Structure 1
Amino acid sequence: MSIQRNRLAYVGFVALALLAGLASRRFFGGIPFIGLYAGDVLWALMVFFGFCTLLPGWPAGWLALVTLLFSFGIEASQLIHEPWLEAIRATRLGGLILGFSFVWSDLLCYSLGALIGYLMDAYLMPGRYRRILKR
């Protein structure tokens, strides 16, 4: 059975995750746990929804794996400090996407974000849960 996702809905989910991530840093940055970790979890969730938009027929598990590989790759790229890469990071958008310094805890946050995306997509999306219950 082929999986089909409503791309427009997932673009909306990308936007919501993006806004929630930015809000977590701006309005809750002073709260230790939320300020440090929520933005990274939401970043990975946004990436997951982005892949759902780009690859609407892929199973949620594969999309979670691709999200992890992409997110871990971005985090690993923070160990590279070439001038051209630093120039990209110096822009607001480049800094938001690429980050600045490698932090081990970010890998855990990305894993949690991918897991949340997987669970939401596989079990909570309207109409999708009926397919799971029929197994």
Structure 2
Amino acid sequence: MPSLRSRRLHLFAAVLIVIAMGIGVRYLPLGLPREVVKYAGSVLWGAMVYGLVALVRPAAPVGRLAVAAGLVAVLVELFRLVHTPGLDAFRLTLAGQLLLGRIFSVWNVVAYAAGIGLAAGLDAGTRRLDGRRRMADKLAMPGVAEIDLKPYRATIESRPADLS
């Protein structure tokens, strides 16, 4: 596995990209249907939660990170059922809408799970397993251009069809 410092740097960059995408989907006039805007934003929010959890524990297994991110997402969604004047006033601000949301919805939990699953899948695909190199590392191997590869030549000849 790469150093924890470089992993954290990559995770931080990924979280920033996901946040930018989420804000873009929610607030840029892209002409998308309202349902797509809402749930794409929720999927990206779930991916952001996974990235933030992974930033805290970068060496943890992907499964544990996904479970922890799922718990955080469910707790935040359940927190929407709590109403106080100060909390409701914060939820009316842009920061409150982005961080906490306003209305409880089970469908949001489903969208969060999808985002967490996607983020966990990408994370698992980019990690090194058992000391072996990732496929991307193998493809980017230095000196690969100097490998002498002589594939066999195939000779393809046409012949008349026998229709008898």
TM-score, with normalisation over the residues of structure 1?
0.85
| Larger helix proportion of the pair | 1
The runs of 5 or more residues in structure 2 that have no matched partner are 134-164
- Between 77-86 and 28-37, the greater mean CA deviation after superposition: 28-37
Residue pairs, 1:72-91, within 5 angstroms: 72-91=74-93
What one-letter code is carried by the residue in structure 2 that aligns with 1:56? P
Aligned identity (percent) is 30
Contact 1:29 1:36 in 2 (8 A): no
What one-letter code is carried by the residue in structure 2 that aligns with 1:82? T
Match of 1:116 in 2: 118
Question: Displacement, 1:42?
Answer: 0.2
- Between 81-90 and 12-21, the greater mean CA deviation after superposition: 81-90
Q: Distance in 1 between matches of 2:21 and 2:7?
A: 21
Check 1:7–1:81 CA distance in 2 against 1; reply closer, same or farther (3 A cut).
Answer: same
Match of 2:49 in 1: 47
Question: Displacement, 1:29?
Answer: 6.2
DSSP-derived class of the 1:101 partner: coil
Q: Distance in 1 between matches of 2:131 and 2:73?
A: 28
* 1:19 counterpart = 2:30: no
1:41-69 Cα deviation digits (max 9, x unpaired) = 00010111111111111111111111111
TM-score, with normalisation over the residues of structure 2?
0.71
Count of matched residue positions in the alignment of Structure 1 and Structure 2: 131
RMSD (CA atoms): 2.4
The runs of 5 or more residues in structure 1 that have no matched partner are none
Q: Which structure has the larger Rg over C-alpha atoms?
A: 2
DSSP-derived class of the 1:79 partner: coil
Residue pairs, 1:61-72, within 5 angstroms: 61-72=63-74
